[in-house]
Amino acid sequence: MDKTTLDANMPVDEIMRRWPAAIRPFLYHRMLCVGCPIGVFHTVSDACVEHGLNEEIFKAALLEAIQRVADAEPDAVASARVAGSDQPPAERHGP
């Protein structure tokens, strides 16, 4: 898997470790995933269900946070997108 692709089956813990900028949307949406022992098992879909969030809006916020770092530090992350999607990060949906 490309190291800049947000895979739908990737556990939220791995997402936050791979892209620390992704932590901000979790905190903004008051999700308790940061440091949670279940984070190594839960995908973004699982976490959104548990926290009653719209998955598409949350994924857009994650991608935007990752892309913002990529824009500021091009060598850190070349691009970020959901695997199987050509859709770029959405306009503002949270931090």
Top pLDDT among 90 and 4 is at 4
Q: Please, which pLDDT band fits residue 8 given cuts at 50, 70 and 90?
A: confident
- Out of 2.60.40, 2.40.50, 1.10.3910, 3.10.20, select the CATH number for domain 5-82: 1.10.3910
Domain assignments of the chain as residue spans, ordered by start: 5-82
Model pTM score: 0.70
- What's the rounded Cα separation, in Å, for the pair 91 and 3? 23
Assigned token pair, 86: 């050509």
Q: List, for residues 43-82, the tens digit of each pLDDT value.
A: 999 999 999 999 999 999 999 999 888 777 665 544 455 5
> Dihedral, CA atoms, 41, 76, 61, 59, nearest 10 degrees?
-40
DSSP-derived secondary structure letter, 11: -
Contact between residue 7 and residue 43 where contact means Cβ atoms under 8 Å apart: no
Q: List, for residues 29-42, the tens digit of each pLDDT value.
A: 999 999 999 999 99
Q: How many CB atoms lie within 10 A of CB 68?
A: 16
